[in-house]
Structures are given as C-alpha cells and as structure tokens.
Amino acid sequence: MFKERLERLQKMLEAPLLVLSLGNLFYLSGFRGSLGFLLVLPEGKPFFFCDGRYVTQSREELAIEAEIVEFDQDVVESICGVLSSLGLNCLLVEDAASVSFARRFEGKSCSVSFVPSPVHVLRAVKDKEEIQAIRRAVALAEKAFLEILPLIREGVEERDIAVELEYRMRKLGGEATAFPTIVASGKRSALPHARPTACKVQKGEWVLIDWGVRVDGYCADLTRVIPVDKTASLCFKEAFLALQEAQEVALSCIREGIEASFVDRKVREFLDKRGFSRYFTHSLGHGVGIEVHEEPKLSSKSTTVLCSGMVVTVEPGIYIPEWGGVRLEHMVLVTEYGYILLDTLPEVF
Amino acid sequence: MFKERLERLQKMLEAPLLVLSLGNLFYLSGFRGSLGFLLVLPEGKPFFFCDGRYVTQSREELAIEAEIVEFDQDVVESICGVLSSLGLNCLLVEDAASVSFARRFEGKSCSVSFVPSPVHVLRAVKDKEEIQAIRRAVALAEKAFLEILPLIREGVEERDIAVELEYRMRKLGGEATAFPTIVASGKRSALPHARPTACKVQKGEWVLIDWGVRVDGYCADLTRVIPVDKTASLCFKEAFLALQEAQEVALSCIREGIEASFVDRKVREFLDKRGFSRYFTHSLGHGVGIEVHEEPKLSSKSTTVLCSGMVVTVEPGIYIPEWGGVRLEHMVLVTEYGYILLDTLPEVF
C-alpha cells in the first residue's frame, strides 16, 4: 500500500518533491520519527534524509525502498548534493516548510519552488487500510469512553475524568491521545477548546467531552455531552435537540459530489431558524486521518467537493458565553450513496 | 511577569512584530489555544487575533492587556487592517511561519520581513517563575518514575511501563506528557527515539526510559537506564561508567560564559578516549522550558555562550546497533558559579 501511494504521487510530479511534513512522511513511507525528509523523484527510488538519531530506526520503519542518507547538520546541502549528482537542478518543496527553512536554499545550486503538497490531495481520500485503522481508533476511543462513563457524576473533577479516559485509551492499546482531551462542565463548556480543570461537576450540569486516540498512526475524534443527572435546564434540552437535528441535516447532505461548504451552510441555515446560529462559532467539521485535523474542511469557505473515501467529523456546536455549550461530534465515511457512520456510541446518555 | 516579558521584547523592537509560535504566545501572554496571533508594537498595548473558538478563552487566559480581535477566515487581512488604522505599514513576522502563510501577505498594503524571533532570545534565559515551574515539572516526573520503578522486571512489556508512567504523571497533576515516552529494552535501546512496543523485558537486559511531563506550561525531560537484574553484561557496565564520567566532564564545564559547543566537544573528546565517541550520535543537550527542545543547543555547531538562567539537558548517549544503547539525562540550571542540578534521582538503580 505504501508502494501504491508513492506511485500515485510520482504520477502527479513533474519535478522532484521534498516531503517534510511528518504526517506526509508517515503516509508515504511509514517513518515515525520527529525529523526526516523524503525526496521523491518522478521516477525511481526516493531518497530519505535523516540525522544520526534515526538511521537505525528508519532502516527498521521505512516501508518503501528508499536510499537512506544520513546528514550531519545541513540537510539542505545534502539534498542539493544528491540532486546535483543526479543531474537535476529544480526542486519542489512542500509549502508547510518554515520561512527559515526556505531561506536555507538561498544561494544553493538548485532552483526551488514551494508548493501546496500534492500529498494532502492523496491523503484526503483514505484507502482501505486507512479506513480500517480509523475504525480501530474509533472503536478503542468508544470502549475507553464507556469504561469511564460511570465516573461522570456530581463532585468529580473535570481533570480526573480526562486523566482516567486517557489512561484507558492507552491501556487498551492506543499509541497516544490524538489531541489534548477536552472535559468541560458548567459554564466552561462554552469554551470550544477548554482544558480540563480541577472544577467539580455540579448538580444539574452537563459535561462536554471531546476525546480521541491514535491507533496504528490514525486518529479518532468524538464529542458527547453527558448530563450529570436528570435536572438539566430546559435551555440545555432545547440546544441539545437542535444539535441532534443539525446532525441529521448535515448527515442527510453528505454524499460524493456534494460541496463541503453546502453541508456547512445547510446546518447554519437550520440553526438560524432555531435562533442558535450565532452561537455556532466554528466550522462544521474536518477530515481526520493521520492528523486529527486534515483535508477536507467542512466550512463555509471550503472549495472541496466531497469524494468517496473521505473521512470527516460532523460537529455542530452551540456555545453561549456565561451559560455553557453543547457539541455533538460524529465521524463519517463519505460514499457515493451517502455517509457511513463510523462511531456507534449513542448521542444521549 | 508577563508584563515584564512584553516590555523587554518591546525594547528590542524597531517595528511591529507578529508572534505566532504557540510557545512564544504562551510565554508573552499566557494564551494556551492552538491558534492565535499577537501583534506586538514597539510601544503600547498589543493586539491579539483569534478565531471564534478562542474569543471567550482568550479573554480568560490573556495575562497581559491586549486588544482582542476576532477574525473570520483571513487573519492576514485583519492584521493589515489594524496596522493601517494605526498608520503603520511595515511588519516583522516570526520566520517560523510557513511559506504558505507568508504568501498570504503578497499584494497586501504592508511591507513584511520575516525574522528569527527575538522571543527565543528572551526565552533561552528563564525568569524565577519559569525556573519554579520547571522544578515542579521535574519533581513530578521523578515522583511518577519512582512509583513505577517496581514494575521494571523480567517479563513486563515496554508499553506497559510507558502507559503506567504517563498515567502516574497525569494523576499527580501533570498537564500532559512533554513528549512521547521512550521505553526501550534490549537491542531496541540502540534507537535513541524508540517507541515503546509490546516487547517483554528479558533477563540480563536493561530498560532505557526517557520521559517528561508538562506542569504549568513547562517541561521536564529526564533519562535513566535501569538494569532488570544483576546480570547485565560487562559491555553495559563499561558503557554506563563511561556515560557517568561523561556527565561529570560536561557538568564540570557548565558555567556562565562558556561556549555551548565547548561542552559538547569536551564530552566527545572524553568518549573518544574510551572508544565510544562514534556511538554518540546526537548532540549533548538542549534547552528546556515551554518546549521540550528549545534554545540553547549544546551541540558542536552551536554558537551560544551559556548565560546564567539557562536550563539545559545534559544527555550523553552510546548507541551500538544490534547491541543496545544507554543514555543518562540530567537537567541543569546554568549560573555564574557553575551548574545547579534540577533532578534528584540517582543515576544507578
């Protein structure tokens, strides 16, 4: 599968491409270190550049045939040297590179252009192995969630819920949390990206949990809100019902060929009718895979048309400052016939 | 303290600076979100740009007086608008910015220069509050380590050691692990950045653990090797003794005014005499603070002169492919009189 990904990329290339984003390196080669550079030529074996820390590891991890080149401190010198030995003098570099890295090509023999990485285009559509890995991540995240659900009651600290959930995810075989776990209760749930605190969950409140795990390099990303008892306010119920309907609106639109921005717009139009749209302060969803946020975006400004094989979150939220917030996040696979829900947890607890 | 940091930065500026690295944002403002931009003017109140997700959170977290500006999708437009409303038309941007972000300034009214961030210069020397936070992180990392030490025996999986250690660090109050925990036994310890596997620790082996935690935004980073029984090979003992001596060589050099590259060189010279220098495949150490790797570097190519208040790791390592590796990592505070050891764990277990 790595070989096929590489070949698909090579067909898109008219000049050598330097891949340096860690997610793209993993996608193309299986490499998992914290620094490496893959020089992909339009044809033939790629070159993998790493420093001394990763020579042995890359021999072990690389799932493609590549020439491993150890660099001392100046990888740019080393890359230009290889290109020149091949009689090549132009190079495409992923534009995720920093300006300071880009500067290091100044005065070098090869002519460099910075381009949006074509690897992101490939990664937006998942292959079978990737979908399986994402399903494993989702299943593990759900299992861990169900294990800690009994913890959620009056008096427990947000932090303790997060710590136990992360522990369960690791214990069940997760490689790491996919992002800092969000556990927010009471008014703090109005912060879409709240960090868990020592706040204790109070009577009548609800707890918003946004959590994820990485399994075999792939992420899960889910959100649920759990009322701590039966006394949640009417306003909570109204907002939550609106979210559930917003989910249905979104899911009913999702299908190959639909514009991502259309799905976002439909949800906003629906929430507008319910008087909630001004409290929906982020975009509707995002691709999930090797990274927890990747292509495509489900947002008003997205220009993406959904394709079969894309995996996205659908996560409408309503955040009312000084009152609190609710969010409901599913993960779905786009197909030509509609969506396939990847998570199986109920929406209501 | 945030106010003083900002003032120190402002004194260094001749033009407005756009700060976008998350570590620098946290250092200057206390902001902890995943996306934000601080426009620091040479004088007066800075502007903080964030999207809808972070408006409420930034009001809560910002520890400096700043004008909060919410942007929709185009922060660059928003920044240029503010500059132009102030009658300003030039801007410095941290060169950690990506090339794709840099491109978004093309055709805009303000003239932009990308510069190495002066904030890194400030951050290399820690203030009292930072040193206290680092000490808290080290103490917590050590406590968690001692709690899981009894786990390290024949038959336990590398992975289980990592999971339990991370759980303990979180449980004791750590915000997160500072980096993916390394637990490597047997031959796998020859990989300086090994990920923990399901490999079981065997008789006569040792376990290399490199772990860290983040407390109040600051990191700890330590490494120890733990023989699983009394039967470790002579080669292990020889390499380990060399490392202990290499530590002494390094520590005895560390003092304000000494070149960082000198310390690295002295250790390499020492390991050379013992026949181990070719197995020491990374640099001697690095600054630790908000990020686990930051300025200054203790490496052969570093041009830094050590200053009082710097916090660095000292971590010589010996990695012999197909045999295994050992590393011993301390954290020290540089002073005018020498070093202060920040960790208190023994070297030998």
β strands within B44-119, DSSP E:
47-50, 67-70, 90-94, 111-115
**pLDDT tier at B56, thresholds 50, 70, 90:** confident
In the CATH scheme, what is the homologous superfamily, with its name and number, of domain B128-341?
Creatinase/methionine aminopeptidase superfamily (3.90.230.10)
**A and B: number of Cβ contacts within 8 A:** 102
β strands within chain B, DSSP E:
17-19, 37-40, 47-50, 67-70, 90-94, 111-115, 176-177, 182-185, 206-211, 213-215, 218-219, 222-227, 285-287, 294-298, 311-314, 317-320, 324-327, 330-334, 339-341
Return the number of other C-beta atoms located less than 10 Å from residue A148's C-beta. Answer: 21
- d(C-alpha B250, C-alpha A290), whole Å: 40
Establish if B197 touches chain A: CB-CB under 8 angstroms: no
**Residue B336 pLDDT more than 90?**
yes
pTM across the whole model: 0.92
Contact in structure between A152 and A201 (CB atoms under 8 Å)? yes
Q: What is the mean pLDDT of chain B?
A: 95
Beta strands at B37-40 and B17-19: parallel, antiparallel or unpaired: antiparallel
DSSP letters for A136-159: HHHHHHHHHHHHHGGG-STT-BHH
**pLDDT tier at A335, thresholds 50, 70, 90:** very high
H helix and E strand count, chain B: 10, 19
- d(C-alpha B210, C-alpha B212), whole Å: 7
Return the number of other C-beta atoms located less than 10 Å from residue A110's C-beta. Answer: 17
- To 5 degrees, how large is the angle CA A206–CA A209–CA A211? 175
| pLDDT tens figures, B193-234 | 888 999 999 999 999 999 999 999 999 999 999 999 888 788
Establish if B319 touches chain A: CB-CB under 8 angstroms: yes
pLDDT of residue A20: 97
Neighboring chain A residues of B34 at a CB cutoff of 8 Å: 193
Contact B96 A100 (CB under 8 A): yes
Contact A34 B193 (CB under 8 A): yes
Q: Mean pLDDT, to the nearest integer, of B4-10?
A: 97
Neighboring chain B residues of A32 at a CB cutoff of 8 Å: 195
Interface predicted TM-score of the whole assembly (ipTM), two decimals: 0.88
Cα atoms in the 13 Å half-sphere on the side-chain side of A141: 32
Neighboring chain A residues of B195 at a CB cutoff of 8 Å: 32, 175
**Residue A73 pLDDT more than 80?**
no
CA end-to-end span of chain A: 40
Nearest-neighbour CA in chain A from B92: distance (Å) = 13
Alpha-carbon distance values, A8 to A1, A2, A121, A134, B114 (Å):
11, 10, 11, 22, 35
**Residue B349 pLDDT more than 80?**
yes
- To 5 degrees, how large is the angle CA B124–CA B125–CA B128? 135
* Nearest in space to B83 (alpha carbons), one of B120, B145, B39: B39
| CB contact set of B317 (below 8 Å; sequence gap of 6+) | B192, B223, B243, B280, B281, B282, B325, B326, B327, B328
Alpha-carbon distance values, A182 to A177, A251, A341, B85 (Å):
11, 24, 22, 38
Nearest-neighbour CA in chain A from B337: distance (Å) = 31
The yes or no reply on domain A2-123 and CATH 3.40.30.10 is no
> Quick one: tokens of B313?
């790791």
**Residue A72 pLDDT more than 90?**
no
Establish if B282 touches chain A: CB-CB under 8 angstroms: yes
Beta strands at A67-70 and A47-50: parallel, antiparallel or unpaired: parallel
- Listed by start position, the domains of chain A span 2-123, 128-341
**pLDDT tier at B268, thresholds 50, 70, 90:** very high
